[in-house]
Amino acid sequence: MTLDRPTLARLREQAGQARQAGHYAQAAHLERQAVELAETLGLAGERVRALLWQGYSLRQAGEDDLALAALLQAINEPTLTVDPADRFGALIAILHISLERKPVRFCRALLEQGRRELAEARQPWSAPLDFLEGELAYRQGEFAAAWHWHERAWAGRRDAHPRLTPATHLWALCRTAFRRREPAEVERLAHHLQELRPNAALERPLVLRARWLAWRAQGVAADPTPVEQARTLLTRAAAEREPRDFGARLEALRVLALASDWDPITADLRQKPLHPATFETALGLGDLALGRARAALGLPAVDDDYGEPAVDALPVAPNSDRVAAVLDEAEQDYREAARFAEEQDQRLQTRWYGDTVRERQARLNRLHSLADSRESENPS
């Protein structure tokens, strides 16, 4: 490799192309080469910029610890030799990772640090910090506050580095509107996001997920397109050797469950089991099992994020063995979700996660009671 500036520029360009295509591990490798070359050439500013994008690429590749190591190198570089925008961008990336792992007091300290640095530098970069305030509120289940901060971030967005993409802002607003049960707003934001036609591999699934949320917010509309899109996504994901799952797969499974389309769900989970490794996956698996139980009991599909109708009796005599199996499956998944919920509630100083699981477990108990009562009416 030639040790000169044109080579450094080519490495950075190739890394950007790899990110655009969703090849984040490859992008991180190329950025690491750029870091080393910039250091050899004595280009401190270029080194920090490559560290920033190496950290971003590692984060998208699922390597948070390595990402933090790169980003901490970026912000610890002497400030006189570094573009302040790159250092601030690294701080924002550290905050993104911290929201998933660190206690709320640590995240708030980083937010306050970011605000202080902006005030001292007199830079107009507040939109990413406002966005992260919204992300923190969202994770705490404070959806009104999340909406306030995300709206403020979107209104203050600048089309200059450091920034977040328009798709990132609109997706955050869309999912927050969904939690606030504002179907018209979800539809508007999903349409706006679709009109952007984002090309990045990371952002294309956001368009689908927004459309699915709009479909769900309208009470599972008659439009069959979201169901077809969910089937297509699962088929494509099954063909990929090592896909990076950014949440679209679980969303697709939810859509198919609400459409009572269980065959592709069964096939997908058999081929690639979805392990309850996070609160979201454990809760989602529990909801899928609860949906199967409702189907086995002859009850209509229910969106568990939006509540359930009152049911006093079952329309058909259930297959008791089948019902017992899926109810036990849901119970096990919700126990896993409760374990994660306890950790998240403690970390984020909230009760939202535990309350969510307890609500699901109450629905599960009601289905148990319905199944037991019907079986007692029809003893074998």
- Domain spans in the chain, listed from the N-terminal domain onward: 275-380
- pLDDT tens string 20-70: 888 999 999 999 999 999 999 999 899 999 999 999 999 999 899 999 999
Q: What is the DSSP string of 284-337?
A: HHHHHHHHHHHHHTTPPP--TTS------S-SS---HHHHHHHHHHHHHHHHHH
pLDDT of residue 275: 86
Q: At what angle do helices 204-217 and 183-196 cross, to 10 degrees?
A: 160
Contact between 91 and 113 (Cβ < 8 Å): yes
Tokens representing 72?
């901490």
Average pLDDT over residues 79-89: 83
CA-CA-CA-CA dihedral for 156, 158, 163, 167, to nearest 10? 80
**Where residue 331 falls among pLDDT bands split at 50, 70, 90?**
very high
Asked whether the predicted pLDDT for residue 300 surpasses 80, the reply is yes
Asked whether the predicted pLDDT for residue 264 surpasses 80, the reply is yes
- pLDDT tens string 155-188: 999 999 899 999 999 999 999 999 999 999 999 9
Residue found under tokens 């530098």: 121
pLDDT of residue 246: 67
Asked whether the predicted pLDDT for residue 316 surpasses 70, the reply is no
- pLDDT tens string 281-295: 999 999 999 999 999
**Where residue 313 falls among pLDDT bands split at 50, 70, 90?**
low
- pLDDT tens string 223-246: 899 999 999 999 887 666 545 666
**pTM of the predicted model as reported, rounded to 2 decimal places:** 0.90
Residue found under tokens 């609500």: 359
pLDDT of residue 149: 98
pLDDT of residue 121: 85
**Where residue 360 falls among pLDDT bands split at 50, 70, 90?**
very high
Average pLDDT over residues 260-275: 92
DSSP 8-state code for residue 80: G
Contact between 193 and 219 (Cβ < 8 Å): no
Asked whether the predicted pLDDT for residue 358 surpasses 70, the reply is yes
Contact between 146 and 137 (Cβ < 8 Å): yes
- pLDDT tens string 217-226: 998 777 899 9
